[in-house]
Amino acid sequence: MATWLSGEGIEIGALHHPLAVPARAKVTYVDRLSEPGLREHYPELADETFAPVEVVGSAEDLSAFNDGCLDFVIANHLLEHLEYPVRGLLEFQRVLRPGGIVYMALPDMRLTFDRDREPTSVEHLLEEHRDGAIVNRRAHYLDWSTHVEGKRGADAEAHAVQLMERGYSIHFHAWRADSFLDFFVAARREFGLDFQLVGYAVPERPEDNEFIHLLAKPDCVKVRLRPEPEPVHQDPSRPPESPPAQQPPRPSLRALLASSPLGPPVRLAKRGLRLLRAPAHH
């Protein structure tokens, strides 16, 4: 699906899994934390190589980028980390050129550590976008502390407060493939989100836990179609194969005989035989 990506774009929150993109796509890496900040936040990833963070900024406020200046935005396993996912999607829309693409993978909560949480409802998300998510922040951390980290009672409360004070990047929201689509449709209707879904993939292998959306910002002239895959490079030391030459049809034996010197006498003899065999008219 990364075939869709070309030109200049950003990947937000690539961390240790930057998306492999075609050579025709140039990526700038954006994260809410600088690389040292990420190293401190994720000590368990000490042995991993991180994508180089070139712009520090939040997905909910991409003010480092002008309107309509990018060809693509990659946001894998990011949206669930946003307190305001609608704000994030609207920012993606703002910074993209018409026809620009969002490549967005999201974990399906049934296949991750979110499986014991309640799926985030559409109403919850719309309400938070309208009225502010800050009032729910504590509840989100407590939900995480209880249903993801398995803490109970006062322990769960204390752990939630600790995570909140550190600004730990939890999954504020959790979706299944279908509940995300419900949210996407509602955000289009309510908040002027104007992406078209041009590609969609569900988990296929047992080790997959994500579903992928390809969204295109509408272009007033064209409908975007799937681009051709990158050309496969041929071995330059080998001459290009030419198609097999067309052979002319082989003449039949009958035609060969007719065009040979034997043709006229044979035709004469055949005519005589036909006359001899013809019934006499009375």
Ligand X SMILES: C[S@@+](CC[C@H](N)C(=O)[O-])C[C@H]1O[C@@H](n2cnc3c(N)ncnc32)[C@H](O)[C@@H]1O
For residue 25, give both structure tokens.
């796509």
Closest CB 113 distance from ligand X, rounded Å:
12
58 binds ligand X per the rule CB under 6 A? yes
| Residue 109 burial by Cβ neighbours in a 10 Å radius (0-12, 13-18, 19+) | buried
* Shorter beta-carbon distance to ligand X: residue 125 or 224: 125
Q: Which residues pair with 215 in a beta bridge?
A: 102, 197
- CB under 6 A: which stretch of 26-34, 138-146, 247-255, 272-280 binds ligand X? 26-34
Binding to ligand X (CB under 6 A): which residues in 80-139? 81-82
- CB under 6 A: which stretch of 11-19, 118-126, 140-148, 273-281 binds ligand X? 11-19
- CB under 6 A: which stretch of 31-39, 121-129, 186-194, 249-257 binds ligand X? 31-39
* Shorter beta-carbon distance to ligand X: residue 91 or 224: 91
How many residues touch ligand X (CB under 6 A)?
18
d(CA 254, CA 263): 10
Beta pairing class for 96-107 and 210-216: antiparallel
Q: Which residues pair with 211 in a beta bridge?
A: 106
| Residue 39 burial by Cβ neighbours in a 10 Å radius (0-12, 13-18, 19+) | middle
Among all residues, whose Cβ is closest to ligand X? Answer: 13
Residue written as token pair 């980028």? 65
Closest CB 39 distance from ligand X, rounded Å:
11
13 binds ligand X per the rule CB under 6 A? yes
Closest CB 184 distance from ligand X, rounded Å:
19
- Out of 60, 127, 157, 182, name the contact with ligand X by CB under 6 A: 60
Closest CB 229 distance from ligand X, rounded Å:
23
Binding to ligand X (CB under 6 A): which residues in 185-244? none
161 binds ligand X per the rule CB under 6 A? no
- Out of 6, 76, 93, 145, name the contact with ligand X by CB under 6 A: 76
31 binds ligand X per the rule CB under 6 A? yes
Closest CB 7 distance from ligand X, rounded Å:
20
171 binds ligand X per the rule CB under 6 A? no
Handedness of CA 3, 191, 88, 166 (dihedral sign): negative
Closest CB 28 distance from ligand X, rounded Å:
13
List interacting residues with ligand X (CB under 6 A).
Answer: 12-15, 17, 31-33, 38, 58-60, 76-78, 81-82, 169
